[in-house]
């Protein structure tokens, strides 16, 4: 099976996820600048989620760039990742509307954690199907960033039950770690 439609479908779903989140920025009543102020937690959540979904799109792009063929297992591992990403708008809105309280911040971290796990499963499914593709296998094999992220998410979820802002800060840290694109694969290709 070729990868083109998988990429096109994933691009479509990710494009919709990243865009419908803005619908949670409800248009305020009133025409003063000060009616925008209460929107800042929703806006901050939106910014972080936009960056996260952007990171997933970037890394998805990089990872599929080095493969040519995909199996049925990869199709489902990819849908599994899209499923958890599709829950991002829900937890983003819940966290923003409740001003970063305990439970919503933990739930947000949980969805991020599941996305990270789903991404790891997709990477494994791709390597299983491309054992001969050294560029992919080697690059994903040393998945230090991935494991650090998962550790930070788990810590963030646990801490957010007492100090939600520390949890939120840890999620920002993970985003910063990933904002640097996945140069492992780029270097291998070069």
Q: Which of 49, 56, 63, 104 binds a second copy (CB under 8 A)?
A: 104
Q: Which of 44, 50, 114, 137 binds a second copy (CB under 8 A)?
A: 50
CA atoms within 13 A on the CB side of 171: 30
With CB under 8 A as the rule, give the number of residues binding a second copy.
61
Q: CA distances (Å), 137 to each of 7, 21, 72, 149, 169, in order?
A: 20, 34, 19, 20, 32
Residue 128 is a binding residue for a second copy (CB under 8 A): no
Q: Which long-range contacts (CB under 8 A, 24 or more apart) does 23-29 make?
A: 24/89, 24/92, 24/93, 24/96, 24/97
Residue 97 is a binding residue for a second copy (CB under 8 A): yes
Residue 141 CA to residue 38 CA, distance in Å, equals 45
Residues 56-75, interacting with a second copy (CB under 8 A): 57-58, 61-62, 65, 72, 75
Closest contact distance (angstroms) between CB of 8 and a second copy is: 5
Give 24 or 140: the residue with its C-beta nearer to a second copy: 24
Residues 150-189, interacting with a second copy (CB under 8 A): 179-181, 183, 186
Q: How many CB atoms lie within 10 A of CB 140?
A: 22
- In the stretch 2-41, what mask flags binding to a second copy with x, by CB under 8 A? x--xxxxx-xxxxxxxxxx-xxxx-xx-xxxx--x-----
Residue 38 CA to residue 164 CA, distance in Å, equals 19
- 3-class secondary-structure state, position 32: coil
Q: Which of 44, 67, 87, 173 binds a second copy (CB under 8 A)?
A: 87
- 3-class secondary-structure state, position 130: coil
Residue 98 CA to residue 102 CA, distance in Å, equals 9
The closest of 53, 57, 66, 56 to 92, measured between CA atoms, is: 53
Q: Which of 41, 102, 124, 137 binds a second copy (CB under 8 A)?
A: 102
- Residues near a second copy (CB under 8 A): 1-2, 5-9, 11-20, 22-25, 27-28, 30-33, 36, 47, 50, 54, 57-58, 61-62, 65, 72, 75-76, 79, 82-83, 86-87, 89-90, 93-94, 97-98, 101-104, 106-107, 179-181, 183, 186
């Amino acid at each position: 099976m070729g990868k083109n439609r998988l990429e096109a479908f994933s691009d479509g779903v990710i494009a919709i996820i990243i865009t419908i989140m803005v619908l949670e920025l409800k248009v305020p009543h009133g025409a003063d600048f000060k009616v925008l102020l209460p929107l800042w937690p929703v806006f901050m959540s939106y910014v972080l989620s936009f960056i996260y979904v952007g990171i997933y799109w970037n890394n998805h792009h990089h990872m599929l760039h080095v493969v040519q063929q995909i199996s049925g297992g990869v199709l489902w591992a990819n849908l599994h990742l899209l499923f958890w990403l599709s829950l991002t708008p829900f937890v983003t809105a819940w966290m923003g509307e409740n001003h970063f309280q305990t439970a919503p911040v933990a739930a947000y971290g949980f969805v991020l954690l599941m996305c990270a796990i789903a991404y790891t499963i997709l990477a494994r499914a791709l390597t299983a199907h491309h054992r001969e593709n050294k560029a992919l296998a080697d690059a994903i094999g040393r998945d230090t960033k991935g494991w650090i992220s998962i550790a930070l998410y788990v810590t963030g979820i646990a801490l957010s039950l007492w100090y939600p802002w520390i949890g939120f800060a840890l999620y920002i840290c993970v985003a910063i770690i990933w904002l640097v694109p996945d140069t492992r694969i780029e270097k291998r290709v070069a």
